[in-house]
């Protein structure tokens, strides 16, 4: 990022997609002093301090919203920081990230929410903290959810952990209704998943790797649907990975529950047959599931059961991945490949419409979190991403600017590349 980047930007002749209004049109966009000042054909901007971007043949859309990101800050700054994580985000076209609370200390207090908000003031993109549901993420006591909400938390989650105590989960749900914020739920039954490394099925058996049955997700999703039915809480199932999960969420929503869900690009992209390489970057939680599950996720996106795509960006050091499969940490980075990985599968392979796809990474997650983002609006601070849809590249380890390099997509050819990103009104990323 060049901090001295000229303040005024003219994006010429792009195909603008407005996912909110469901419109597509060719237009110039003029950003003056950080504000989206003008939209229309043949804008003649005056003044010397103008960066012009030729967006002919490119898509121009709202900056993406990634509602599931681990920035590792504070506590694990050797893996990622707010600074490096947001630079990686804007390289991926993302201008808003919701960061998860499993930092050290965790985001379970007012002061921690403020720390994130203050430290991210100068960051390349907007950072919105998701605060812990339970103190210390321990699953025993409810956090000061009211104070956390007032301090600026956009949701609550014990992500990475599941609240085992059903009564406590029920009380968290009931209490959350006072504040109207969503609960972002990581669904895992530890009595099922304990010791497991990969999806339980044909490949776990072939590879001699202990399995994590899809029952692990499904049992807790079923429980939380029951609890949400009683409490009327707004729940969001994150990184849904199973056919059973998609089916239950669909039914629950049809039954009138305020339930949403997201899926990661890696669960859409891979199935467990890729594990035969023992590539530790594919060791994630929930695990990469069977082809049958992957198909159900794709269909879930097509049918509108799945509301959003989120990266679950989980940076880890080389030493945590360059080890045996059993000892390696769970997680893949995903900010820089969020668009291209999902676009390659959903639009190129599955022929999902581009505006529909764009809404999954803009307006839809913004709506779930209740934030003002993911739109193109004249008069507002500009958050815009320009994409070259025809570009294709093989993902290389060296190309990542995230502090960690543990990408499941290394070696894969992905379509669609971010040309530039305007975040918080500034041109913060331009393709080299």
Q: From the CB of 403, what's the least distance to other proteins, in Å? A: 20
- The reply to whether 324 sits near other proteins by the rule CB under 8 A is yes
Q: Which is nearer to other proteins, 25 or 278 (CB)?
A: 278
The contact mask relative to other proteins for 161-200 (x = CB under 8 A, - = no) is: ---------------------------------xx----x
CA–CA gap between residue 29 and residue 13 (Å, rounded): 8
Q: Measure Cα distances from 15 to 2, 26, 388, 417 in Å.
A: 26, 5, 11, 15
Name residue 142's beta-bridge partners: 134
Q: From the CB of 209, what's the least distance to other proteins, in Å? A: 5
Q: From the CB of 292, what's the least distance to other proteins, in Å? A: 11
312 is catalytic: yes
CA–CA gap between residue 286 and residue 15 (Å, rounded): 36
Say which residues have a Cβ less than 8 Å from residue 12's Cβ, sequence separation at least 6.
28, 52, 53, 54, 55, 56
Q: Which is nearer to other proteins, 245 or 416 (CB)?
A: 245
Q: Which is nearer to other proteins, 179 or 325 (CB)?
A: 325
| Burial (Cβ within 10 Å: 0-12, 13-18, ≥19) of residue 302 | middle
- The reply to whether 47 sits near other proteins by the rule CB under 8 A is no
- The reply to whether 278 sits near other proteins by the rule CB under 8 A is yes
- Binders in 327-356 for other proteins, by CB under 8 A: 327
Q: Which two tokens stand for residue 326?
A: 């059993």
- The reply to whether 37 sits near other proteins by the rule CB under 8 A is no
Torsion angles phi and psi, residue 413, rounded to 5: -95, 120
Which of the residues 312, 318, 372, 388 is marked catalytic?
A: 312
Q: Which is nearer to other proteins, 187 or 200 (CB)?
A: 200
CB atoms under 10 Å from CB of 304, counted, come to 12
- Binders in 193-212 for other proteins, by CB under 8 A: 194-195, 200-202, 204-211
Q: From the CB of 404, what's the least distance to other proteins, in Å? A: 17
Q: From the CB of 208, what's the least distance to other proteins, in Å? A: 3
- The reply to whether 326 sits near other proteins by the rule CB under 8 A is yes
- The reply to whether 322 sits near other proteins by the rule CB under 8 A is yes
Classify 22 in phi/psi space as left (phi over 0), alpha (psi -120 to 50) or beta. left
Q: Which is nearer to other proteins, 15 or 316 (CB)?
A: 316
- Are 129 and 152 a contacting pair, CB within 8 Å? yes
Query: Among 213, 344, 359, 402, which residue interacts with other proteins (rule: CB under 8 A)?
Result: 213
Q: From the CB of 295, what's the least distance to other proteins, in Å? A: 16
Query: Among 5, 325, 377, 412, which residue interacts with other proteins (rule: CB under 8 A)?
Result: 325
- The reply to whether 323 sits near other proteins by the rule CB under 8 A is yes
Q: Is the dihedral of CA 63, 5, 34, 69 positive or negative?
A: positive
CA–CA gap between residue 194 and residue 176 (Å, rounded): 29
Which residue has 């997509």 as its token pair? Answer: 409
Say which residues have a Cβ less than 8 Å from residue 246's Cβ, sequence separation at least 6.
240, 261, 296, 297, 299, 300, 305, 306
Catalytic residue numbers, as ranges = 312
Contacting positions for other proteins (CB under 8 A): 194-195, 200-202, 204-211, 213, 277-278, 319, 322-327
């Amino acid at each position: 990022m060049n901090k001295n980047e000229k303040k005024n930007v003219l994006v010429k002749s792009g195909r603008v997609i407005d996912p909110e209004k469901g419109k597509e049109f060719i237009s110039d966009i003029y950003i003056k002093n950080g504000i989206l000042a003008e939209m229309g054909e043949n804008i003649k901007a005056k003044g010397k301090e103008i960066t012009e971007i030729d967006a002919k043949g490119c898509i121009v859309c709202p900056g993406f919203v990634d509602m599931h990101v681990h920035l590792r800050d504070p506590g694990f700054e050797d893996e990622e920081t707010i600074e490096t994580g947001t630079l990686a985000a804007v390289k991926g076209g993302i201008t808003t990230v919701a960061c998860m609370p499993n930092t050290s200390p965790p985001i379970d207090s007012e002061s921690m929410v403020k720390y994130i908000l203050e430290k991210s003031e100068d960051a390349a993109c907007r950072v919105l903290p998701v605060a812990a549901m339970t103190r210390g993420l321990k699953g025993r006591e409810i956090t000061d959810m009211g104070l956390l909400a007032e301090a600026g938390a956009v949701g609550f989650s014990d992500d990475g952990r599941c609240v085992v105590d059903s009564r406590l989960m029920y009380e968290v749900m009931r209490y959350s209704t006072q504040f109207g914020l969503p609960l972002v739920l990581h669904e895992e039954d530890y009595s099922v998943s304990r010791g497991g490394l990969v999806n339980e099925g044909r490949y776990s058996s072939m590879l001699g790797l202990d399995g994590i049955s899809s029952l692990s997700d499904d049992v807790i999703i079923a429980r939380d649907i029951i609890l949400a039915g009683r409490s009327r809480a707004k729940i969001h199932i994150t990184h849904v990975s199973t056919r059973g999960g998609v089916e239950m969420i669909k039914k629950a929503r049809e039954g009138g529950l305020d339930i949403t869900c997201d899926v990661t690009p890696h669960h859409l992209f891979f199935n467990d047959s890729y594990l035969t390489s023992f590539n530790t970057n594919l060791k994630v939680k929930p695990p990469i599931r069977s082809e049958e599950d992957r198909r159900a996720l794709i269909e879930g996106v097509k049918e509108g059961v799945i509301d959003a795509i989120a990266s679950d960006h989980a940076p880890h050091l080389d030493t945590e991945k360059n080890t045996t499969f059993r000892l390696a940490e769970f997680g893949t980075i995903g900010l820089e490949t969020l668009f291209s990985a999902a676009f390659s599968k959903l639009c190129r392979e599955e022929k999902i419409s581009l505006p529909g796809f764009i809404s999954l990474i803009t307006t839809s997650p913004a709506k779930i979190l209740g934030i003002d983002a993911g739109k193109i609006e004249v008069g507002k601070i500009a958050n815009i991403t320009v994409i070259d849809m025809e570009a294709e590249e093989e993902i290389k380890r060296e190309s990542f600017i995230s502090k960690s390099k543990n990408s499941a997509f290394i070696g894969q050819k992905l379509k669609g590349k971010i040309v530039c990103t305007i975040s918080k009104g500034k041109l913060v990323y331009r393709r080299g």
